[in-house]
Amino acid sequence: MSLVERALKKLQESSRERASVVPAAVNRPAPAPAGTPPPPPANRIVMPQHAPVSVDRNALRAAGLLPPEHQERQVADQFRQIKRPLIANATGRGAKKVANGHLIMTASALPNEGKTFTSINLALSLAMEKDITVLLVDADVAKRHLSKIFGVEKEAGLLDALKDDALDLESLVIPTDIPGLSLLPAGTRTDIATELLSSAHMETTVARLGASSPNRIVLLDSPPLLLTSESRALASVVGQVVVVVCAGRTPQQAVIDAVGHVPSDKILGFILNQCDVQASEGYYYGDGYYGESKD
């Protein structure tokens, strides 16, 4: 048994306790629901409509961000298993609905553990649902890997919305040629990214993204939990956190320390990357090929 597996085993009991502490649904008294983000300014700045981004599966596969064709079905089945509890928590179908469960953050303890591979494949799997749409948000604003992969690194996005409340948030969302999948780029670089992501406006911005469509799941690709304060700020505004752990590579203490940065009221799950394991209660596991060590 690897160090990572032992770490996950030790964390299993505490993770079950976290999962059992499901926040109560947000009260919504009329006329203004409690916790509802304030309406955007009357004079909104609407960005020009974007043409759909073409998702080149062959290019993603060549970059190690999709599985090879001979393992595509196997990995697709794995992500079907991974998404089911996430959807249940988000929608209340088959489980108690979690407060902000439709806001999901993918993270890792350290870089190069397969987080971006996981975010992309999880988003593609979620988009296959008939009654769900998914918005993939590049919240790793320092690395902005997702924005580069999809060719939208020069487009306005999350940071622009945080800097200027007058921007129409939905006009920054970019559709793709995959039904049910859209993107929000990282946006224009700024020296105050940490402050913006840690601000109260971040909470209202993410809430607006989730509230704009009743069937939307917002999937935020986060920086590593142990390297930046941005990821810890993001963890405070979502309902579910998925931590990617690379088997045989991620130090046990790093996993434990990373979990310590996730608020105790969040639903916490794990994806054990590049390892053959059986699914255990309270954890989300994938096995087999998960691409090269891309993040």
Q: Where are the domains of the chain?
A: 3-22+52-273
* Per-residue confidence band for 285, with pLDDT thresholds at 50, 70 and 90: very low
Q: What is the per-residue burial (b if ≥16 Cβ within 10 Å, else e) of 117-134?
A: bbbbbbbbbbbbeeebbb
pLDDT confidence bin for 39, thresholds 50/70/90: low
CATH topology of domain 3-22+52-273: Rossmann fold (3.40.50)
Element (H, E) at 147: helix 145-149
Decide if pLDDT at 288 tops 50.
Answer: no
Q: What is the pLDDT of residue 294?
A: 44
Confidence of residue 2 (pLDDT cuts 50, 70, 90): low
pLDDT at 249: 84
pLDDT surpassing 60 at residue 155: yes
Question: What is the model's pLDDT at position 228?
Answer: 82
Lowest mean pLDDT among 12-21, 97-106, 234-243, 245-254: 12-21
* Cβ neighbours of 197 (radius 10 Å): 25
pLDDT digits (tens, 9 = 90+) for 169-228: 999 999 999 999 999 999 999 989 888 988 888 888 999 998 888 899 999 999 999 988
Mean pLDDT of 136-157: 94
Average pLDDT of the chain to the nearest whole number:
81
Which amino acid does the sequence have at 53?
V
Pairing of strands 103-108, 216-221: parallel
Radius of gyration, CA atoms only, the chain: 18
The answer to whether 118 touches 273, Cβ cutoff 8 Å, is yes
Residue 57 three-state SS: helix
pLDDT band for position 233 (cuts 50, 70, 90)? confident
Query: What token pair was written down for 202?
Result: 């971040």
The H-or-E segment that residue 4 falls in is: helix 3-20
Q: Give the pLDDT of residue 279.
A: 40
**What are the pLDDT digits (tens) for 66-122?**
999 999 999 999 999 999 999 999 999 888 999 999 999 999 999 988 899 999 999
Q: Check whether the bond before 31 is cis (ω within 30° of 0).
A: yes
The total of other beta-carbon atoms located within 10 Å of residue 2's CB is 15
pLDDT value at position 222? Answer: 93
More confident residue, 47 or 167: 167
Count Cβ atoms below 10 Å from residue 192 Cβ, excluding itself. 12
Whether residue 223 contacts residue 143, with contact meaning beta carbons closer than 8 Å, is answered with yes
The confidence band for 8, taking pLDDT boundaries of 50, 70 and 90, is low
Measure the CA–CA gap between 254 and 250, rounded to whole angstroms.
7
